[in-house]
Amino acid sequence: MKTLTTSIVALALVSGAFAQGKEQPLWPNGTPGAKGDSPRDIPTLTPFLAPAGNNSGSAIVICPGGGYGGLAAHEGATYAQFLQQHGVSGFVLKYRLGSAGYRHPIMLGDAARALRTVRANAKRWNIDPDKIGIMGSSAGGHLASTLLTHYDDANPQAADPIDRVSSRPSLGVLCYPVISMGEFTHRGSKRNLLGDKPAAELVKLLSNELQVTADTPPTFLWHTAADKGVPVENSLQFAAALRKAGVPFALHVYQKGRHGLGLADNPPFKNTHPWASELVFWLKAQGFIAE
């Protein structure tokens, strides 16, 4: 009885700490693997909850890009605000970075914890625990695709109640993502994630086009053929792997456009890039947005 009571209290403390638009640590009682206690050592989650009158009951954890060396603001809160307009709650993840001395699997652990946190608090936030996705751009797309292909199930015996729920996303949204650590990788992202001389086995493990299975969640991808930062082959290879495994997906490749486009717009979102409307169409088909 004491253990159960302690767990309920711990979960209540975690869920109670999160407020609309307010950044909060993923591990309020101490971050595992932290090298210090500065902001760059403390991963956080910032909720942008859908309004009560327009809440589809779905949510997406958002991983901004930045080559695993920084975090691009326009690929975080801006995405969350766009999703809010369509009844989807967005949760922006500040994950730890290679520029602060972190390497895999720290980033994956942060993403998994973020998704678990949303799922553990689903009832409180009026979210369906079976409608929680992961979204990422560029290197954030690599992190999102890593969780899509390396998620783990719940541990019902875990001391931390958040670890008792699965980290499996219901779906993925990948924006001009880094996918491979091989020929078509973004070298800066690879170095920041894996170090200067990673083992061949690790390179293969984090080349996520090689890790797709029939259990990989449905995925929306978009890229531009003109992308000079992250070659379009990253999205093409991941889509091909999804196709081979029989996983539902949508792939949009635009002829023109630079890397890091984001939505190409800010609130109130009157002139977003076409991928945004395509995403809304796809999310409706997945039951994440009401028709």
Q: What is the pLDDT of residue 64?
A: 98
Residues 6+ apart with CB under 8 A from 255: 224, 225, 226
- Residue 160 near residue 167 (C-beta atoms within 8 A): no
- Residue 99 near residue 221 (C-beta atoms within 8 A): no
Q: Put residue 60 in one of left, alpha, beta given phi > 0 → left and psi -120 to 50 → alpha.
A: beta
Q: What is the pLDDT of residue 8?
A: 38
Residue 93: enclosing H or E segment and its boundaries? strand 88-94
- Closest to 77 measured CA to CA, from 97, 60, 102, 99: 60
The tokens for 98 are: 């290679």
Per-residue pLDDT tens digits for 91-139: 999 999 999 999 999 999 999 999 999 999 999 999 999 999 999 999 9
What is the end-to-end Cα distance of the chain in Å, rounded?
A: 45
Q: What is the pLDDT of residue 11?
A: 43
Q: What is the pLDDT of residue 257?
A: 92
Per-residue pLDDT tens digits for 169-200: 999 999 999 999 999 999 999 999 999 999 99
DSSP per residue, 187-247:
HHHHHHHH-SS--HHHHHHT-GGGS--TTSPPEEEEEETT-SSS-THHHHHHHHHHHHHT-
- Residue 285 near residue 219 (C-beta atoms within 8 A): no
- Residue ranges of the chain whose pLDDT lies below 50: 1-16
- Residue 124 near residue 175 (C-beta atoms within 8 A): no
Q: What is the pLDDT of residue 183?
A: 96
Structural domains in the chain, sorted by start = 2-285 (3.40.50.1820)
